[in-house]
Chains A and B, each alone.
Chain A
Amino acid sequence: MEPVKVVLEGVSHRYPGARSDSPAPVSAVLHAGEKVLLEGPVGTGKTTLLLRIAGLREGPGRVLAGEREVTRRSAAEIRRAVGFLWQNPDDGLFLPGVLDDVALGPLNDGVSPDEALGRARLHLEGVGVAHLASREVTTLSRGERQLVALAGLLAREPGLLLLDEPLSALDAPSRERVLALLASSPATVLLATHEGSEAARHAGFRAAIRLVAVAPAHATEGG
């Protein structure tokens, strides 16, 4: 799928009962195919910003994905191009078998079962866990589940990857492999992290969005 350009215009969110926005208004441009870091301390709204871009939360400001504004009405169509990795990989894994779970996305996009399973094997190999294909998800470690969840996203070949702390449970070799894979992907990548930023910069990511925890919180765009 073609990489997706994302434009954020004053995007913010305030949870019920909170005294400040999380995130505070963010304006930024992610050019098609760009690899961008989303940085900030815990509680500054990194996950919420990713959910806003995916159209799963509503609030002030505008999100444009490609040429379209992300709204409730357009979200379903835009999500076809989005791969979202949850901070807790369990949230994104549905089927008991590893290979079946990775094939789930392509299968539901209308690909034939054989091709979906073929793509699943390919992407499991890509993230370095081809040996887990016949395992059950419940028997995997957290890091292994994170890699399987990532393979599940990549198998849909999305144009925009929104990744919430994808490196948190990985050892150093797996981190390097994943970062190299993401850096070489044609998709636009927004990687939220408070760990592994240095390694990500080495892999070619630029720190474009930094969320800052001050009252009221504010965000800056840098590079």
Chain B
Amino acid sequence: MTRPDARTALLFGVTAAASALTGPVPAAGVILLSAGLAALTGVSWKRLLPLAGSFAFFLVLVPFAPGPVARAVLQGLGVSLAVVVSVSAARWDRLVAVFQALGAGRVAVAFFAITLSHLDAAGRDARVAFDALLLRGGFRGARGLGRSTSLHLARTLRRAFERADRTADALELRGFAGRVPPPPAFRAGPADIAAGAASLLAVAVAVGSRLSWSR
């Protein structure tokens, strides 16, 4: 299945996060819905594992916590998963368009767009630096680990600053005056229908849960 439009993904992120905040049952529902949407739209499990891992750590600590924190952990996991899945599933280029459609100013839109690209390039630089250090025998032993980590950080930061300078020059050369192309026309695909259905389900679970509590 293709990835959903950023507008649909945003709808899911907002409704699912809001639903998860209403109680533990909706939060559990949102966790399932987010996992389902992630599987359908091909969001990498590697991206979700650190998040799930950190919450698993919290769950281990729940019995030792002084108050009833299990509910908060469950809701936190629900909100976090909804946000991470919606952002990961959305197309980044459409995300910029959505930001613009939401009425953000030209400078803010440009800053957001350029930051996205810059972060990606900086991430690539960091990976290359890490691989280069590994191939030259870095990260071996406790001493080597510390030295290689500091070298890696220094090189990544230096590259990021150099890149920022070149970005400023390149923006001038491309005549940038703060305008980016408008968002493309919305056309719902299977992924958008899935994300829309998941949003409705999240709201339905939250409303149903509220109604059953009030009886």
Grouping DSSP codes into helix (H, G, I), strand (E, B) and loop, the B interface class, with mixed when no group exceeds half, is helix
Q: A-side interface residues toward B, CB under 8 Å?
A: 51, 54, 56, 76, 79-80, 82-84, 86, 88, 90-97, 99-100, 103-105, 107-109, 113, 116-117, 136-138, 152-153, 156
Which residues of chain A come closer than 8 Å to B113, judged between CB atoms?
Answer: 94-96
Indicate which residue in A51, A86, A94, A152 contacts B117 across the interface (CB closer than 8 Å).
A94
> B175 touching A100 by the CB < 8 A rule?
no
Query: Known: A103-B181, A117-B181. Is A84-B173 also a contact (CB below 8 A)?
Result: yes
Min CB–CB distance A83 → chain B (angstroms): 8
| Residue among B113, B120, B173, B179 with the highest chain A CB neighbour number at 10 A | B173
Taking CB as reference atom, which chain A residue is nearest B163? A91
Which residues of chain B come closer than 8 Å to A113, judged between CB atoms?
Answer: 181-182
Min CB–CB distance B57 → chain A (angstroms): 31
Which residues of chain B come closer than 8 Å to A92, judged between CB atoms?
Answer: 170, 173-174
Taking CB as reference atom, which chain B residue is nearest A138? B120
CA distance A108 to B175 in the complex (A): 6
Which residues of chain B come closer than 8 Å to A137, judged between CB atoms?
Answer: 117, 120
CA distance A93 to B170 in the complex (A): 8
> A56 touching B163 by the CB < 8 A rule?
no
Which residues of chain A come closer than 8 Å to B163, judged between CB atoms?
Answer: 90-91
Q: Is B96 in contact with chain A by the CB < 8 A criterion?
A: yes
- Bits for B44-59, please: 1 = Cβ < 8 Å to A, else 0: 0000000000000000
> A108 touching B176 by the CB < 8 A rule?
yes
Grouping DSSP codes into helix (H, G, I), strand (E, B) and loop, the A interface class, with mixed when no group exceeds half, is helix
Indicate which residue in B174, B177, B180 contacts A100 across the interface (CB closer than 8 Å).
B180
| Cross-chain pairs A/B with CB under 8 angstroms, 30 sampled | A54-B173, A56-B172, A83-B173, A86-B166, A88-B166, A90-B117, A91-B163, A91-B167, A94-B114, A94-B117, A95-B113, A95-B117, A95-B180, A96-B91, A96-B93, A96-B95, A96-B113, A96-B117, A97-B93, A100-B97, A100-B180, A100-B181, A104-B176, A104-B180, A104-B181, A107-B181, A108-B174, A108-B178, A108-B179, A117-B181
> B93 touching A100 by the CB < 8 A rule?
yes
Which residues of chain A come closer than 8 Å to B175, judged between CB atoms?
Answer: 79-80, 105, 108-109, 156
Which residues of chain B come closer than 8 Å to A136, judged between CB atoms?
Answer: 91-93
> B174 touching A105 by the CB < 8 A rule?
yes
| Residue among A56, A76, A99, A152 with the highest chain B CB neighbour number at 10 A | A56
Which residues of chain B come closer than 8 Å to A51, judged between CB atoms?
Answer: 169
> A82 touching B121 by the CB < 8 A rule?
no
Q: Which B residues, 32 to 48, have Cβ-Cβ distances below 8 Å to chain A?
A: none
CA distance A181 to B92 in the complex (A): 31
Which residues of chain A come closer than 8 Å to B153, judged between CB atoms?
Answer: none
> B117 touching A79 by the CB < 8 A rule?
no
> B117 touching A108 by the CB < 8 A rule?
no
CA distance A212 to B195 in the complex (A): 60
> A96 touching B116 by the CB < 8 A rule?
yes
Which residues of chain B come closer than 8 Å to A99, judged between CB atoms?
Answer: 181
Q: Is B171 in contact with chain A by the CB < 8 A criterion?
A: yes
Which residues of chain A come closer than 8 Å to B167, judged between CB atoms?
Answer: 91, 94
Query: Known: A94-B117, A100-B96, A107-B179. Is A156-B91 also a contact (CB below 8 A)?
Result: no
| Residue among A92, A95, A153 with the highest chain B CB neighbour number at 10 A | A95
- Bits for B111-129, please: 1 = Cβ < 8 Å to A, else 0: 0011011001100100000
Min CB–CB distance A88 → chain B (angstroms): 8
Min CB–CB distance A223 → chain B (angstroms): 28
Min CB–CB distance A1 → chain B (angstroms): 12
Which residues of chain A come closer than 8 Å to B171, judged between CB atoms?
Answer: 94
